[in-house]
A and B are shown apart, each in its own frame.
Chain A
Amino acid sequence: MPIVVRILNRGFFQFKRFSSSIPSVGKKFETAEELDAFFSKSTWSTKTLLKKEEIPVEITGETLDKILDLSGLSKSISQDEKSAIMKSLSEQLDFITKLHNVALPEEKPNLTRLVDDKSVEPLTFDSLMESILNTEPILSKGEIEGSWNPLSLATQHQNKYFLVKEGLLKKNK
Chain B
Amino acid sequence: MTKPQLKIGLEIHTQLQTISKLFSNSLNPTSNLSIIPNSTTSFFDNSLPGTQPKLNNQCILNAIKLAISLNCKISSISSFDRKHYFYGDQPLGYQITQHFNPIAKNGFIKLLKKYNPKLSNDLIINIQQLQLEQDTGRSIYHSINSNISNIDFNRSNIPLIEMVTLPNFSNIEEIRIFLQYYIKLIQDLNICTGDLETGALRVDVNINVIGHKRVEIKNLPTISSILNAIKFEEKRQINELNSGYSLLSNSIETRGWNGKSTYHLRNKESNIDYRYVPDMELPKIKLDLNNLIPKINSILPVSINDKIDNLMNNYKISLRDSKILINNEKLLKFYLNSWSLINDIKIKEKLINWLVHELLGSLTKSEIEFNENLISPKSFTNLIIEIENGNITKNNGKLILLHLINNKIDQSKPILELAKEFGMIANNSINDINNNDSLDNIINNILIKNDKIVKEIKENGKIKKINFLIGQCMRQTNGNVQPKIFEDRIKVLLNI
Q: Kindly count the residue-residue contacts between A and B in the assembled complex, taking CB atoms under 8 Å apart.
A: 152
Q: In the bound complex, do residue A125 and residue B84 qualify as a contact, i.e. CB atoms below 8 Å apart? A: no
Complex Cα–Cα for A70 and B296 (A)? 42
Q: Which residues of chain B are within 8 angstroms of A112 by Cβ–Cβ distance?
A: 277-278, 280
Main secondary structure of the interface of A (DSSP, over half): loop
Main secondary structure of the interface of B (DSSP, over half): loop
Q: In the bound complex, do residue A71 and residue B280 qualify as a contact, i.e. CB atoms below 8 Å apart? A: no
Complex Cα–Cα for A142 and B46 (A)? 10
Complex Cα–Cα for A114 and B176 (A)? 45
Q: Which residues of chain B are within 8 angstroms of A171 by Cβ–Cβ distance?
A: 144
Q: Which residues of chain B are within 8 angstroms of A165 by Cβ–Cβ distance?
A: 147-148
B139 at the A interface (CB under 8 A): yes
Nearest to B278 among chain A residues (CB) is: A112
Interface residues on B, range: 35 or more
Q: Which residues of chain A are within 8 angstroms of B42 by Cβ–Cβ distance?
A: 137, 141-143
Give the residues from 271 to 290 in chain B that come closer than 8 angstroms, CB to CB, to chain A: 271, 273, 275, 277-278, 280-288
B482 at the A interface (CB under 8 A): no
Complex Cα–Cα for A135 and B36 (A)? 24
A2/B93 contact (C-beta < 8 A), A120-B284, A169-B147 known: yes
Complex Cα–Cα for A128 and B299 (A)? 14
A70/B57 contact (C-beta < 8 A), A115-B282, A125-B295 known: no
A sample of 6 inter-chain contacts (CB < 8 A) reads: A117-B283, A132-B57, A145-B27, A148-B43, A158-B148, A158-B150
Add 19 more A-B contacts to A150-B46, A159-B150, A164-B150 (CB < 8 A): A70-B273, A72-B86, A112-B280, A115-B282, A117-B286, A125-B292, A125-B295, A128-B57, A135-B25, A137-B20, A141-B51, A142-B48, A143-B42, A149-B38, A161-B150, A162-B150, A163-B150, A164-B139, A164-B148
Residues of A within 8 A of B (CB): 2-3, 66, 70-72, 112-117, 120-125, 128-129, 131-132, 135-138, 141-146, 148-151, 153, 158-166, 168-171, 173
Residues of B within 8 A of A (CB): 19-20, 24-27, 36-44, 46, 48, 51, 56-58, 60-61, 76, 84, 86-88, 93, 137, 139-141, 144, 147-153, 266, 271, 273, 275, 277-278, 280-288, 291-292, 295-296
Shortest 7 CB-CB contacts between residues of A and residues of B = A72-B86, A161-B150, A164-B88, A125-B295, A122-B288, A122-B286, A142-B43
